[in-house]
Copies of this chain bind each other. A is one copy, B any other.
Amino acid sequence: MFGSKKSKRVYLDYAAATPLSREAKAAMLPYLTDSFANPNAIHREGQTARNAVEAARDSIAHTFEIRPEFITFTSGGTEANNLAIRGAVMAVRRENQPLGELEVITLKTEHPATQKTVAALKKRGVSVQYAPVDDVGLIKIEAFQKLLSEKTVLVSVAYTNSEIGVIQKLHALRKAIRQAEEKFGTTILLHVDAAQAPLWLKCQFDALKADLVSFDASKCNGPKGVGLLLRSRRVELVPVTYGGGQENGLRPGTENVAGAVGAAVAFQEAQKNWKRRTAAVAAVRDAAIEHIHSELPQVILNGPVGEQRQANNINISIPGLDTEFATVVLDKHGFAVSTKSACAGAGGGESTVVREISNDPARATSTLRISLSPDTKLKDLERLTAVLKQHINKMAKYSR
């Protein structure tokens, strides 16, 4: 569909979905067909499938520099976040302890998988605090530090925000958490949703300074329906769904063998080349942002500039413009972009992320997210800017 001369399309929604890499696909195919057995069976066919799952786990362990037994396969980033947050909070709860004695700290700018999981815990009585963020989405560390209390058992933040690309300073968070742990004599787990990160940032487990890290293969050229939860030695978890003893009792159901195999290849490729990929794409991004600003001075960039921004993320607001309609117009001209995150409802409604950083409804309801692929060219973004400018001028005429 893409790349044919007849209908040249420019796909700029890489934060929502990425194509399966040729290597990941090739690795998966044998496990879709010939080697189809259940990895829990003890016969030869079962062992072939078991070996494939465990080789995938070993590969992922190597990629993220963590021991394989601390890796759990899930059905995606959403389930990984559910398992991390609900699984960890419920595991630290003592028998009959009121849930109100346990506190979770997160952000109002988080992905729905985190927001809604935390909200479900809150409904059951868990105490929830929201750490404030500044006008580019960065956590205000001092305010965050003040929120940490004797009750805090878990902090859940995204490494990079899926809408505005802000990269949180995990070292500073960890430092604040460690100080609180020492002060209160407690354990405070840090969960990092790194679903958007592997193509663009180093995700070595220790470097992230987290106790729990979520990934989603479909965001980095792996298959849809496969996620990961990595955990540190000090994390106890309870499952969020129940059944067979697969994944060390943490995630029941027959393993998605082909999915695990494809994911392992995708994560490896993503992490192997992240630095070069990031440098190249960030240069295109920055030139494009500059171009957009020069052509459309009224545009507001959401999120930070420079190194604190995920390399492939551009998110702008055009106050007064119906950007949902603009997305449709851009689509007709061959550009696939979105207004916000697909899971937050890619269509209408305001961006809760931009509302939170700006407290400006006009800005929050006029967002455009342009997420670049490693192949995006500056001239494509210049063409997009021209189409957008033409559309804005046309709209201005109508509204006069």
Contacts and interface: CB of A to CB of B under 8 A. Distances in A.
Interface of A: 1-2, 9, 11, 13, 16-20, 25, 28, 32-38, 40-46, 48-49, 75-79, 81-82, 111-113, 116-117, 119-120, 216, 218, 223-226, 240-246, 252-259, 324, 327-328, 330-331, 335-338, 342-347
A224 B116 CA distance: 27
A171 to B, nearest CB: 28
Contacts of A347: 42
Contacts of A119: 242
A19 B218 CA distance: 24
Contacts of A244: 78, 112-113, 342-345
Contacts of A224: 254-259
Contacts of A41: 13, 16-17, 336, 338, 342, 346
A140 to B, nearest CB: 26
* A33, A116, A224, most chain B CB atoms within 10 A: A224
A366 to B, nearest CB: 16
Nearest to A257: B224
A342 B254 contact: yes
Nearest to A218: B254
A13 B34 contact: no
Contacts of A252: 78, 112-113, 116, 343
Nearest to A79: B241
A160 to B, nearest CB: 17
